[in-house]
Amino acid sequence: MIDVARAAGCSQSTVSMVLNGNPSVSISDETRRRVAEAVAALGYRHRVAPRSGRHAPALPGSKVGGTAAMTVEDPRQSGSSRTAWVAGILGRRIIAGHYGENAILPGDAELIGEFGVSRTVLREALKTLSGKGLVQAKSRIGTRVRLRSEWQLFDSDVLTWHAEIGLDSAFLRALGEMRLLIEPEAAALAAARRQPAQLPQLYEWVAEMAAADGAPDEFVAADLNFHLEVARIAANPFLRALSTLIRVALFAALTRSSPASETGGVGQSAAAHRAIADAIAAGDAEAARQGMRAVILEGIERAETHPAHF
């Protein structure tokens, strides 16, 4: 499995989840494609498991609720997909620490030989990574990995790559802190701006949370969709730009420790989210703010007191 992980540019745990079809964890279509290609290239025989679940939670770049088996596509079919493929592999390697801070990436000839792409595609991929703050090209030196403090962490690809590789406790805690800065105020805005037609969908996600006892993947999906719905009702365009952060942070926290794994946890969590929905429906901004803050703090505490199982 180590050789497949290296060839696919992702972690061994991600490879295992893709090959075994773990239904409680969402893996992007791009990652599934890379794993399938690595399996084929290394001569193994294994069918990558299809995605499942009507509301399967999805990280950015993947489709929610897909049920069809994955179709493996050659990333070399078009220039744009080749560029994204190379950038994705190198980006994940950088985030995983395969290329450490201030390290110089392998030369063009070596990378071209590894990926089987043109110099133009490789250069475009490196430009993509440069735009995300991951690398910096230096004449007569090469392409250097920048310090982590310089990475564009709000970039959807950078966040998603972190999640696919696996989040450590410090990074997960930082994501939780960002949620505390963003989501309580989003809930307050939602209470001030909600329209009657928007409320049924909010309560629909609460109902799905309550009905998901014994189905952790469905609970995670409903919980995630509830929080994204609150952000949509808040009607602030910047919240849409931050939806990736909310998605990755909540998904990672619930993957590590979900109320669905605790006796009575689903009912308690659904009730807490229903209280937020009630406050939004009533136009009570302060109650919505405090309700959201309490839900996030409870999630942070649960994630920090349970071992990771990505």
Q: What is the pLDDT of residue 5?
A: 67
Task: Confirm whether 80 is domain-assigned.
Answer: yes
Q: Which CATH number does the domain housing residue 6 bear?
A: 1.10.260.40
pLDDT for 209 equals 92
Q: What SS3 state is found at 142?
A: strand
* Portion of the chain with pLDDT greater than 90, in percent: 49
Residues 216 and 289 placed together within one structural domain of the fold: yes
Q: Which of 145, 166, 187 is the last residue of a domain?
A: 166
Is the same domain home to 252 and 209?
Answer: yes
Q: Which residue has the higher pLDDT, 48 or 200?
A: 200
Please name which of 75, 76, 70 lies closest in space to residue 46, comparing C-alpha atoms. 70
**Would residue 186 count as lying in a domain?**
yes
Phi, psi (deg, nearest 5) at residue 135? -135, 165
| Residue 309 within any structural domain of the chain | no
CB atoms within 10 A of CB 141: 9
**What CATH number should be reported for the domain holding residue 233?**
1.20.120.530
Residue 25 confidence (pLDDT): 53
Do 108 and 57 share a structural domain?
Answer: no
The CA–CA distances, whole Å, from 33 to 10, 15, 88, 131 equal 12, 11, 12, 24
User: Does residue 85 fall inside a structural domain?
Assistant: yes
Q: Quick one: average pLDDT of 199-207?
A: 96
66 and 134 together in one domain: no
Tell whether 129 is covered by a domain: yes
Q: For residues 152 and 44, state if they share a domain.
A: no
159 and 181 housed in the same domain = no
In DSSP terms, 142 is beta-bridged to 138
Question: Phi then psi for 45, rounded to 5 degrees?
Answer: -115, 110
d(CA 17, CA 27): 8
Q: Looking at the domain assignment, is residue 310 inside a domain?
A: no
Cα angle 134-135-138, degrees, rounded to a multiple of 5: 165
Residues 255 and 172 in one domain: yes
CATH assignment at residue 153: 1.10.10.10
Confidence band of 148 (pLDDT split at 50, 70, 90): very high
Give domain status of residue 240, yes or no.
yes
At residue 66 the predicted structure's pLDDT band, cuts being 50, 70 and 90, is very low
Q: In terms of residue numbers, what domain contains 38?
A: 1-73
Question: What pLDDT score does 45 carry?
Answer: 44
pLDDT, tens digit, for every residue of 71-93? 334 454 455 588 999 999 999 99
Let me know whether 150 and 227 are in one domain.
Answer: no
Residues 182 and 300 in one domain: yes
> Which residue reads 């990652």 in tokens?
31
pLDDT digits 0-9 by tens, 19-47:
766 544 567 766 777 777 666 544 454 44
Are 189 and 287 in the same domain? yes
70-79, 107-116, 240-249, range with the lowest pLDDT: 70-79
Angle between helices 243-256 and 156-165 (to 10 degrees): 10
- Structurally, the chain folds into a number of domains equal to 3
Final residue before a domain boundary, out of 166, 192, 227: 166
- Counting other chains too, the contacts that 78-82 makes at CB distance below 8 Å and 24 or more residues apart are 79/120, 79/121, 79/124, 82/117, 82/121
- Comparing 91-95, 225-229, 249-253, the range with the smallest average pLDDT is 249-253
| SS3 per-residue string spanning 154-193 | CCHHHHHHHHHHCCCHHHHHHHHHHHHHHHHHHHHHHHHH
Q: Give the closest residue to 303 by CA, choosing from 243, 274, 273, 262.
A: 262
Please indicate, yes or no, whether residues 153 and 274 belong to a single structural domain of this protein.
Answer: no
Write down the pLDDT at residue 56.
42
pLDDT value, residue 4: 64
Predicted model pTM: 0.68
Question: How far is residue 134's CA from residue 98's CA, in Å, rounded to a whole number?
Answer: 13
Residue 294 maps to a domain: yes
In this structure, the answer to whether residues 62 and 81 fall within a common structural domain is no
Mean pLDDT to the nearest integer, 288-302: 92
Q: Please say which residue of 42, 73, 104 terminates a domain.
A: 73
